Structure 1
Amino acid sequence: MKTTDVLIIGSGIAGAAAALELARNPRRHITLLTRETDPRESNTRYAQGGIIGRGPGDSADLLVRDILEAGAGASSPRAARLLADEGPRLLEEVLIRAARIEFDRTPNGDLAYGREAAHSRNRILHVGDGTGRAIIDALISAISERPNIEVMTGLTAVDLITSPHHSHNPLAAYEPIVCHGAYVFERERRTVHRTLATFTILATGGLGRLYRNTTNPPGARGDGLAMAHRAGARIVNAEYVQFHPTALAVPGAEGFLISEAVRGEGGLLLTPEGRPFMHTYAPEWKDLAPRDIVARAIHAEMEERGYSYVLLDIASRLSPDAIRARFPNIYATCLRAGVDITREPIPVVPAAHYFCGGVLTDEWGRSSIPNLYAVGEVACTGLHGANRLASTSLLEGLVWGVRAARDIEARLSADPAPILPPAADIPPWDESGLTEDSDPALIQGDMQTIQNIMWHYVGLIRSGDRLSRAIRELRHLQNEIETFYRTTKLSDGLIGLRNAVEAALIIAQAARHNRQSRGCHYRVDAVEVGERLL
């Protein structure tokens, strides 16, 4: 058994920012764990486009307006204001000064601010097209220099430890639910340990891997959402899954993200015959429309005309040297896949990209369960509403990661400070009687079934019939998986499968409940506001 002041599950920008802020007090012991062997591996690493700063002629008011417009009326004005007021300052303080990240600059040495879809000003800072990689490399490097941050890799959180759920004390049944850490599976030794923590921060990222087509890495399977849900945390806005309009559509390289910054730099969407089409779907924004509009426009063109992809043309808009300088990673990856983006357009399709809902938190990252925080994509701060504004995700992770850490530090420093329950009250993990090893083929088959159900029935275009069918099939599959889970020795794949089917059901049920189209939740059978909702 292990004890720590703060347990952080996940090592992306939100978890890393929280760890660094907490480590400023040398008396604190912070445990940062990740299921990956490399703590730099997370959704953050694959964020290409950039992070919001405050460019020339910009203001907090303008950013708030853009966030609320993109959120389709469902974004929290309070969360938007908090991000707009605090975000640029924390970016300067944490990323530029402390982490020493070198964002791209203009020839005269000023920071280079780009523009992405639905932004009214140039305000996006970037490091080529590998902004997320540059940020997480710098943050993890800074973490390695802090002796009071213990980074543990190759560990998968199984479930949150909560009282009274996991308490031996029968009197705990009369007390509120409180989080005390997590059961953690050590993949190399195949054992489960109790990690008790005064405070726990979920920073587990998203769930794009629930879908057949996605830009997300393999770990984005909804682990944090499912664990929080089982513990009783409040989940909101789960129907809002954002699809990125432009993922590479070349065999062998599917799912590679073609950044929105390509359209921000003038890239145009074309049919395979070379016909522009965005002006017919979004006359005001055209190719810089919000992601949900662009994704549905591409989907409509593909369905109505039988296209297997559309084209994104940057070759006719920028010089070859400018393309290679601005998008070196995209250029190199596409070239390996047989597409020279300096000479020809890029075949693209929509793909599941970002989860706008999640574990409901307040402005300090506190969930509805005492001592449990959630930051980053697993959390729903209310910022994104029904549709995330481009490049807000990295900044949200930074802002709420720091804010959660500051709130925790204040509570740890309070008199009296929170205390852990006696270790004897928390039972060890029990795998006695389990003899069967998990079968990777069965796990992979079930995961593919989940991905196909979600893609076809809970995807870009939804309906009541599709969603009802998805729920029936997912419930049946969940029963099978739970039986499998209760009789089989643990593995990372089995833990992920159990979480994936639970997260999928959460999304499908929320989507069926919401009969109005809004943002990235689009129903062909939507009812109008004011109609009777049965």
Structure 2
Amino acid sequence: MSKAADLLVLGAGIAGCSAALRAADLGVSVVLVAKDELGGSNTSWAQGGIIGLAPPEEGDSADLLAADIEAAGAGLCRPEAVRLLAEEGPKLCRAFLWERLGVPFDLGANGTPDPTAEAAHSARRIYHAKDATGLAIQTALSEAVRKHPNIQVREHLCLVDLITSPHHCVSPVRVYEPIRVHGAYLFDPATGEVEGALARRTLLATGGLGYLYLHTTNPPGATGDGLAAAYRASARIVNCEYLQFHPTTLYVPGKPRTLLTEALRGEGARLVNRKGERFMTKYAPEQLELAPRDVVSRAIFQEMAASGEPCAFLDLAPLAARLDLDEHFPTVMAACRAEGIDPHRQPIPVVPAAHYFCGGVLVDLDGRTSLPGLFAAGEVACTGLHGANRLASTSLLEGLVWGFRGAEAAARELAGALEPDPGDLAAWRTPETSKEMDPLLIDQDWGLIRSTLWNYAGIVRTKARLERAKADLHYLAHRMERFYHESTLSRELLELRSGILCARLILNAALQNPESRGCHYRVD
């Protein structure tokens, strides 16, 4: 067991880095753990933007922003979380990201960030850096984290499990005590070793689980590691049925999906079928392409089902008439041209894809989970902000706000916190004999998980499909646990174990909720 840190932050996206920086500014000693290299998080993949402050002439307000969030959340948003983000979030975005860190948002004539529009927003309030906003934010955060003297960065380490009492206590008498988190077991793929990283407080910021779906905008590392670890530690988990699909990803047969930013539709791009007919007039005649993401995703899905076509199309002609597409959307244009598609001349083929997990580890307004000693922020957490469907560009801001608040709450608790006793907590024990797991078996199991969730727990769901999926994955889960305890640890094995557990959480929640709401849509 290592010497206990004041704060162990697991995950290095916007939530983890913001928490680490805020805690470090308060004098807290922080250990920040990244699964890949620092900067390789899901945050870097975010194209569209983050909610900032709209110019006064736009008539924006915290009340209007709150109303937009609640409308998108389909009646399931937590009112106090919505109010907190609406009042504090835009100011924090401007003060911390732009003024302190110098994130290079696109600026207007007055030298301040120039906001754009996005779907279901009532005002132009989205700060952006071309169409690579997440990368710009992550780069600035990573640089600040590396320079801070109170932060120790540790890269390429995988979360195995949270260290908890009494589960991992040496003394059996501790079984009568409440569960408390004391850090985490971390696996180093380079050495094959597992270490116990003790901490007086731990903050989960491990991101989402989009890779569990066959078609996704998420990177391969989004396998739900933190959610699975929290569940095994007995933390309260909620709203797992609400998995948001992004309506527009670039469709190229046989290749991973590439996100096409919401800002394209915010600036006027239109969804059409192969005949060039605009179809959102049938599904959302008032909001059209700017309807909430679940509405647009289902509309595309239904058009594809009715026509038998493998995709719909996004027509950028309305934008090209007044904007320099290469200037405003260089990432999108480069992705299209790499596939031989010229958006100036032809509509872009698009399909929906799994994008954002609205459920997670339940936290309060300060990021506290149901387990003492454990905080959570970002996509792994459920603050209640998103309800049944996330409003575009709220996720980065949520990670920032709850990263800050979790760090501040953890710092306050440290004043009277006892240091974990290494002698009372069990070090990781590697089995004397273990076998290498066949990579082909791992690939096969991932294929089953991803295709099962996409086909049976995707954009449109039924009880029969969900029950079939649950039965298929039930056997796989039991087999996986046996393999896990018999096999040599690897990153691939740990991710697969997390993925199976998280898939079952999604299926169980979807089966238990017969009501169609937001991005959980039951046709039966």
Aligned partners of 1:103 and 1:126 also within 8 Å: yes
The 5-angstrom pairing of residues 352-363 of structure 1 reads: 352-363=354-365
Q: Which amino acid aligns with 2:306?
A: E
Query: Structure 1 residue aligned with 2:345, among 343, 346, 350?
Result: 343
Which residue of structure 1 aligns with residue 30 of structure 2?
A: 30
Q: Which residue of 2 aligns with 1:301?
A: 303
SS at match of 2:480: helix
2:183 is matched with which residue?
A: 181
Aligned letter for 2:354? A
Runs of 5+ unmatched residues, structure 1: 526-534
Contact 1:253 1:337 (C-alpha < 8 Å) held by counterparts: no
**In structure 2, how many angstroms separate the alpha carbons of the residues matched to 1:283 and 1:320?**
24
- Given that residues 320 and 342 in structure 1 are in contact (C-alpha distance below 8 angstroms), is that contact kept between their aligned partners in structure 2? no
8 Å contact from structure 1 (residues 244, 353) kept in 2: yes
Separation in 2 of the partners of 1:258 and 1:523?
27
Q: Which residue of 2 aligns with 1:71?
A: 73
Preserved CA contact (<8 Å) 2:159 2:187: yes
Contact persistence 1:51–1:126 (CA under 8 A)? yes
Cα displacement (A) at 1:172: 1.1
Q: 1:482 is matched by which residue type in structure 2?
A: E
Q: Could you report, residue by residue, the CA deviation over 1:84-103 in whole angstroms, capped at 9, with x for unpaired residues? A: 01001111221012111121
Question: Partner residue of 2:405?
Answer: 403
Q: Structure 1 residue 461 and structure 2 residue 460: aligned?
A: yes
CA contact (8 A) 2:16 2:205 kept: yes
Deviation track 1:24-55 (CA, whole Å, cap 9, x = no partner) reads 134x221111110x210111001000000120
Alpha-carbon distance in structure 1 between the residues aligned to 2:324 and 2:438 = 49
Q: Distance in 1 between matches of 2:343 and 2:398?
A: 31
Matched, 1:82 2:81: no
Tell me, yes or no, if the aligned pair for 2:216 and 2:257 is still in contact at 8 Å: yes
How far residue 194 of structure 1 moved from its aligned partner, in angstroms, is 0.3
Q: Is the 8 A contact 1:482 1:498 kept in 2?
A: yes
For the pair 1:196 / 2:198, whether they are aligned, the reply is yes
Alignment of 1:49-448 (within 5 A): 49-56=48-55, 57-251=59-253, 253-319=255-321, 322-412=324-414, 414=415, 417-448=416-447
Residues 460 and 522 in structure 1, CA contact (< 8 A), matched pair in contact too: yes
Asked if 1 retains the 8 angstrom alpha-carbon contact of 2:53 and 2:91, the reply is no
**Cα displacement string for residues 82-136 of structure 1 (whole angstroms, at most 9, x for unaligned residues):** 0001001111221012111121122443421111111011100000000000000
Conserved? CA contact 1:252–1:337, under 8 Å: no
* Equivalent position of 1:532 in the other structure: none
- Count of aligned pairs: 520
Superposition deviation, residue 252 in structure 1? 5.5
For 1:531, the equivalent position in structure 2 comes to none
Instruction: Confirm or deny: 8 A CA contact 1:34 1:153 kept in the other structure.
Output: yes
* Residue aligning to 1:482: 481
Mind listing any 5+ residue stretches in structure 2 that lack a counterpart?
Answer: none
Counterpart of 1:183, as a letter, is Y
Aligned-residue sequence identity (percent) comes to 51
Q: Give the Å deviation of 1:178.
A: 0.2
Q: Is the contact made by 1:364 and 1:403 (CA closer than 8 Å) also made in structure 2?
A: yes
Contact 1:319 1:342 in 2 (8 A): no
Q: Which amino acid is the alignment partner of residue 389 of structure 2?
A: N
The answer to whether the Cα contact below 8 Å between 1:516 and 1:523 also exists between their aligned partners in 2 is yes
Q: Corresponding residue for 2:17? A: 16
Give how far 1:439 is off: 1.8
Q: How far did 1:251 drift?
A: 3.4
Tell me how far apart the structure 2 counterparts of residues 234 and 254 of structure 1 sit (CA, whole Å): 33
In 2, distance between residues paired with 1:232 and 1:124?
37
SS of the residue corresponding to residue 442 of structure 2 reads helix
Q: Output the CA distance in 2 between the equivalents of 1:182 and 1:110.
A: 42
Between the aligned partners of 1:15 and 1:356, the Cα distance in structure 2 is 18
Deviation, 1:432, is 2.3
Partner deviation per Cα, 1:437-473 (whole Å, 9 max, x = no partner): 1222111110111001100111111011111111111
Tell which deviates more after alignment, 334-343 or 207-216. Answer: 334-343
Instruction: Report how far residue 253 of structure 1 moved.
Output: 4.4
CA RMSD of aligned residues (A): 1.1
After superposition, give the CA deviation of every residue in 1:418-450 in whole Å (9 maximum; x if it has no partner): 113311111111112233112221111101110
Deviation string 1:285-320 (CA, Å, 9 cap, x unpaired) is 011100000000000000111011110011343248
Contact kept in structure 2, 1:49 and 1:261, CA below 8 Å: yes
Q: Structure 2 CA distance, aligned partners of 1:152 and 1:481?
A: 29
TM-score for both structures, normalised by structure 1: 0.96
* Corresponding residue for residue 528 of structure 1: none
The answer on whether the counterparts of 2:268 and 2:318 sit within 8 Å (CA) in structure 1 is no
Q: Does 1:7 align with 2:37?
A: no
Amino acid at match of 2:32: L
Q: List structure 1 runs of 4+ shifted beyond 6 angstroms.
A: none
